[in-house]
Structure 1
Amino acid sequence: MPVRVVESSSPSQSSGQDPNSGHASPPSCSLLSVGRCFAGTQNVSSFQKDEAWKVNVRIHGCDLEHGYLCGTMEALNVPLADTPVVTFWEGEIVDAKNYTFFTGKWEATPEDDIKHWSKFQSFTPLLSQIEADGGKSLDLSNYPYIFMRWKEQYFVNVGIDCGLTIAGFYYVCFSCSDGSISGFYYDPNSSPFQKLELKCSNGQQLGFTFSSYELQ
């Protein structure tokens, strides 16, 4: 939710399986499940300023079979907002079955996709196969990282005049080993490569809590 400004295992490959029916779901991971919370920062630096917001994320829904998840994101120290700003987002899990590495919407071109995914070191072993066939023959079911796109849908507790934009989306990489999350925000009208860094904050039943909001 930025201000608008104007390492890895080798992947396996499927053997001729139908990409619409032969791919398994991403690895089941207890750290990516309903109720999990993550805390960290989003860097919103631009040429005029260097700033990082504190960010909390909670997972509210996760359906690996259909490549879907959703949650809320809370930015705590937004300069133009009197209170923490909460947004509701929906996610697409890249599994070569429901969603591929190519976004195909939200003003993102294939070149934008490759440029952003390549920011993740864990993506490097996948690149050659994606360049060859779009990644349709990749089997990511045992890969130690889960790649996703998060798209904020609406503001939960503030109006659209809060000084933020949710026009773009996040390229996200989730580590199944420790629950850490890295992400980069994409919006042609915002400063590029705003980095999101989160760590699981309730692995030992600890962490933060959100205020109570009703999601509709």
Structure 2
Amino acid sequence: MLLIFGLSAFVSWRLRSKFNEYSQIGLSNGLSGAEIAQRMLQQNGIYDVRVVSTEGALTDHYNPQDKTVNLSNDVYYGRSVAAAAVAAHECGHAVQHKMAYGPLQMRSALVPILSVSSRYLQWVILLGIFMLQTTPIPLAIGVALFALTTLFSFITLPVEFDASRRALAWIQNQGVVNQREYGFAKDALWWAAMTYVVAALGSLATLLYYASILAGGRRSD
């Protein structure tokens, strides 16, 4: 667990470092993140998705519920390699939505369940650990709920990698970036993807830890 925590901290630091670095490299075409997003959506035949700015740093995301590409201010107004990469990546999710990309649909289906279970998950697991010598049922429920969280983390991986693949292909094919800028954009999105990989591994490690407690409690019965 300490290894995963350390790795997560390193990847998060590296991502912010890369984003800050590539935010200082201006695009040769001078387009802003918002302009790139609008162009990518239109060229993929998507006209019902709005591009909006949102507060915070690295808060960029696509919301399939209200069909919005939410870009942080640095990305929305930025005219850098980092802004281009992030804006195109989030639009990649909009393209996935339009094409009914399987992993995205699976992830979206889990969101309502996880939004409810996440409120009580830690309390259920804590109660289950205290009651383990009496009954394994509460902890078993907690482990099952946490397994859904872990499943969500792993389903997220192909969703994120595919969005980056679509983004990189589009910005290259459309001449949004030159060869040098493409390399920087690819590197930025790779580090962004690594944050999801580490999160998935951390979730799996935690799940196995709780499962081992449950198994140990059953053997002692």
- TM-score (normalizing by structure 1): 0.23
- The structure carrying a bigger strand percent of its residues is 1
- The structure carrying a bigger helix percent of its residues is 2
- TM-score (normalizing by structure 2): 0.23
